[in-house]
Structure 1
Amino acid sequence: MTKRGGTIIGLGGTMLGPGDKVPCELAMSRASNPTRRIFDAWFALRTPGGAAPSLVAWDASGAVPDLQSSILIVEILPDTKDYRYLRIGKRAAELRGYDPTGMTVRGIYTADALDFVLENYDLAVAHPCGIVDFSVDIIPDDRHVELETMLLPLSKDGTVPSHVLVYGHYITK
C-alpha cells in the first residue's frame, strides 16, 4: 500500500518512523500473535457476505478480553473527512498519556502527524479487511515502543463503514 521514510514528531514528543501500511490479509504473516488474535475474532464476525461486522456485534462477542485495554474505537465523520475517538482502552490511554474520547483527529494532530493518522484511517475504511501499519512509534517516556497498529472497519449496515477498531501492539523495554 504505502511506505514512507524519515521521522515524524507527533503529539507530546512521540517519534514515529513511518513504515509499511499493508492490507490485513497480507499482513498477518508478519503480525504479532495478539494482532492476529484480534484480526481472527473480527474476521469471524463478518457477515455471511463478507461485510465488516458492526460495533454492536464486536462488543457482544466479548472477543479477546485480555487485549481490550489496548483497543480504541473511532467513529467515522463522513461529512467532515474526520474521525472522532468514541472510546479508548485503559492501556491505550495510559500509553498516550491522555484520553482522547470525544476529540477528533483533526482536533488533536497537526502537520505531518495529522496527514499520517488520517491516511491510516482512510486506508482502513477503504479496504474491506482493514490494514496493519508497521510503523515504529516510540512513546515519550521511552519505555514503550509500538511495533504495529491494526485498523479494522466496522459497519452499522454491512455496507458502509461507520467505525474503525484500532489495536496497537507495544513492547516494553
Structure 2
Amino acid sequence: MKKRPGQGRSRATVEAVLEATAQLLAETGYGALTTNHIAERAGVSIGSVYQYFPGKEAVVAQVVERVVDDVLADFSTGLLAGPTDNRRIAAVVYDAIDRRAALVRALTYEIPFLRDLPAIANLRGRLLLLASQIYMRTLAEKPFTHPHVASFILTAMVRSAVLDSILNPLPGMTREQAIDTLAEIIARIAGPG
C-alpha cells in the first residue's frame, strides 16, 4: 500500500477498492482483473486507486491479507467459542472456506506471487497456533508423543482436505458428506473429540 487512509472518506475509498477487487477476482479471475475494472466497480476514479496502491498486485496482496485474517477469525470464533468436537471442527473449517470459495479458488490457482506474500508466509504459524489451542482443549488427556508435530500434520491434512473438497470436489460429493467424513478422519487420527 502506498499510503494509509487516515480519514473516514479515505478509509471508505480503500474499502470500496478492496471489496471491488475481491468481487472481481471471484467473478472473472486474476487474468481479467485491471485497475480500471477495480475503479469502475468500486465507484472511484482510477487516480483514487493509484493514490493508495501502486498497481493491481498491491491491491490483490491486500485482499489476500484480508481473506487470511477473515478466515482465521472465522476459525477462531467458531472453534474456540464453544465445545470443540470433531464434526464442529470440520464444519467450521469447511464453511469458512466455502463461504469464499470463488475468491479462494482465484487466489489459490491464479495469483502467481501468492506464496511470496507475507500473509501467506505467516499463515502456517497462525494456523499452528490455533491448532495448538484446539489440541490443548480436545486432546490433552490422550496426548501425542510430539504434540507440535501432530498439530502441524493435522493442520496440513485438514487444510488440504478442505481446499480440495471445495475447489475440486469428488463428483456428487455433498457438503454434509465432506464434513462427516472429515470429522470421522479426525476422530480416527486424533481420537474422539
Tell me, yes or no, whether TM beats 0.5.
no
Q: Between Structure 1 and Structure 2, which shows a larger proportion of strand residues? A: 1
Larger radius of gyration: 2
Q: TM-score, normalised by structure 2?
A: 0.28
Higher relative contact order (CA closer than 8 Å, sequence separation 6+): 1
